[in-house]
Amino acid sequence: MDWLGRARISFTSSPSPLVLQKKDGTTTDLLKVCEASTPPCQLNPLLFNGHVQTMWTAVKAHGPPIYYRRRIFEADHKTYSGTFAVDFAVDPHQDVDESLPPRTAYFSEADFAKLASDDSRPMLIVLHGLSGGSHEIYLRHAIAPLALNGGNWEVCVVNARGCANSKVTSGVLFNARATWDVRQVVNWARKTFPNRPLFAVGFSLGANILTNYVGEEGPNCQLKAAIAVANPFDLEVSNKALQRTLLGKQVYSRVMATNMKKLINMHKDTVLKHTNLNFDRIQNVTYLHEFDREVQTVTWGYPTENAYYRDASSSDAVLAIRIPFLAISALDDPIAVYEAIPFQEFTQNPCTVLCTTSLGGHLSWFEMGGGRWHARPICNFLNHMATEINLDALSPTPNGKAPESQFATDFDPMRRKLRILSG
């Protein structure tokens, strides 16, 4: 039982976690690093369960003041055409652009051209949650210790298309398996900053996308480590859980659908120009699964929203990960629900560790005074990996494989049902 907001913390991992070489010549393993990075979880006792924690996010505290410069990237993939916005954490500036979120302004062409560097500072690439952006408070809490007050990290946030006041310039929107933009940013960062170790963290929908990306890349992943926070993992299970309860359907699913409808409305002209979506039917949507039925199935050719959920889920991707990977989830999360967490998959892959807390809600983990607990294990893990682990010694290992079958079969965790017909 949890008393006065003191949450229980548990770890799920392989019996033989990934061995890591330290810079001092000794060795440790991934589980030990995750355990050492995770402080006690003492949350606000007045926010006593996942629903109250989650609903408290509606209270708009200011959060840490992160300043950004934005760059619009032109997609380099023929199928996934269009543009997307990346916000880079920068020193405070006085520029004001009313068309962008607070404290955000565009890079000048000259300043962006000077961004390339051969320094070896660690760099973090961040993915936000559904309909969010770089301005989200939960995200700023997590990156503030890394980017502010002398933090040694470079940080950028990949905004999903149309989010954070970015424009939609093609018929390609975002979805839960939309790994193309983060892949392009990682590849760009690898070229632009050849000596920087690259890391990534994703939140909620962004955690699902990041998990899929790392799984798709497998041993070729250019990230040194990644963190998935409040990942829904199995989207079909999570969505059915939302529809099963009054709060799930009438509060969470309804609110998320409303936010997505607002996003579509902001880009009405472009959506009507570049897609065959039925705008009037989208306006009649009430719940998230209805939105996905009207938008994701039509955009991508899925026969049903459940087919989309199954294809976009990242639970199987856990098996294909070949870099140090930490997942952080709250067991009372009413959106990324307990039933969707792939516990067994984490026990099969030495490169992965799952950290669960008994309290925390969805992207909440509110402490007394308004702090967010999740920021501490995120920053501790990243700093530990960047400063104490010999990242050059990391090498892919043949783990996450299914047991050998008695028949001529093989399980490929990243096999996808949606085929890309042009590349």
CATH at 169: 3.40.50.1820
Same domain as 245, residue 119: no
In a domain? residue 415: no
Residue 413 lies in a domain: no
Given a contact cutoff of 8 angstroms between Cβ atoms, the answer to whether 346 and 327 are in contact is yes
354: helix, coil or strand?
strand
Residue 179 corresponds to which tokens in the numbers above? 């790994």
List C-alpha distances in Å: 147 to 113, 123, 196, 269, 342: 21, 10, 15, 37, 32
Q: Which two tokens stand for residue 349?
A: 């892959």
The DSSP H or E segment spanning 90 is strand 83-90
Bridge partners of 225, per DSSP, are: 199
Does 345 share its domain with 251? no
Domain membership flag for residue 209: yes
Q: Which residues pair with 7 in a beta bridge?
A: 41
* Residue stretches of the chain with pLDDT short of 70: 1, 396-407, 422-423
Phi, psi of 390 (to 5 degrees): -75, 95
Q: Could you tell me the strand order of the sheet in which 104-106 lies?
A: 9-13, 352-357, 325-330, 225-229, 198-203, 123-127, 154-158, 83-90, 67-74, 104-106
Which residue range(s) make up the domain with 100?
6-233+314-393
Backbone angles phi, psi at 402, to 5 degrees: -70, 155
Same domain (yes/no): 80, 135: yes
Residue 75 in any domain: the answer is yes
Q: Which of 257, 286, 312 is the last residue of a domain?
A: 312
- Asked if 289 and 360 sit in the same domain, the reply is no
Residue 404 falls within a domain, yes or no?
no
Q: How many structural domains are present in the chain?
A: 2
User: Does residue 118 have an active-site annotation?
Assistant: no
Claim to verify: residue 140 and residue 268 sit in the same structural domain? no
Question: What are the φ/ψ torsions at residue 151 (nearest 5 degrees)?
Answer: -60, 145
pLDDT tens-digit readout, 72-113: 999 999 889 999 999 999 999 999 999 999 999 999 999 999
Selecting among 204, 238, 329, 364, the annotated active-site residue is 204
Active-site residue among 135, 267, 362, 384? 362
pLDDT for res 275: 95
Q: Are residues 295 and 205 in the same domain?
A: no
Verify that 43 and 180 share a domain, yes or no: yes
Last residue of a domain, one of 261, 277, 312: 312
What pLDDT sits at residue 146? 97
**Would you call 280 a catalytic residue per the annotation?**
no
* Residues 178 and 71 occupy one common structural domain: yes
In a domain, 345, yes or no: yes
Q: Are residues 195 and 290 in the same domain?
A: no
pLDDT in tens, 45-74: 999 999 999 999 988 778 999 999 999 999
Cα separation, 78 vs 423, whole angstroms: 6
In a domain, 419, yes or no: no
The answer to whether residue 166 sits within a structural domain is yes
Q: Which residue among the candidates 29, 292, 311, 333 is catalytic per the annotation?
A: 333
**Residues 216, 261: one domain?**
no
User: 57 and 179: one domain?
Assistant: yes
One domain, residues 147 and 72: yes
Sort strands 225-229 and 198-203 into parallel, antiparallel or unpaired: parallel
For residue 362, indicate whether it is catalytic. Answer: yes
Neighbouring-strand partners of residue 74: 83
Burial of 173 (0-12, 13-18, 19+ CB in 10 A): buried
Q: Of 253, 286, 312, which residue is a domain's last?
A: 312
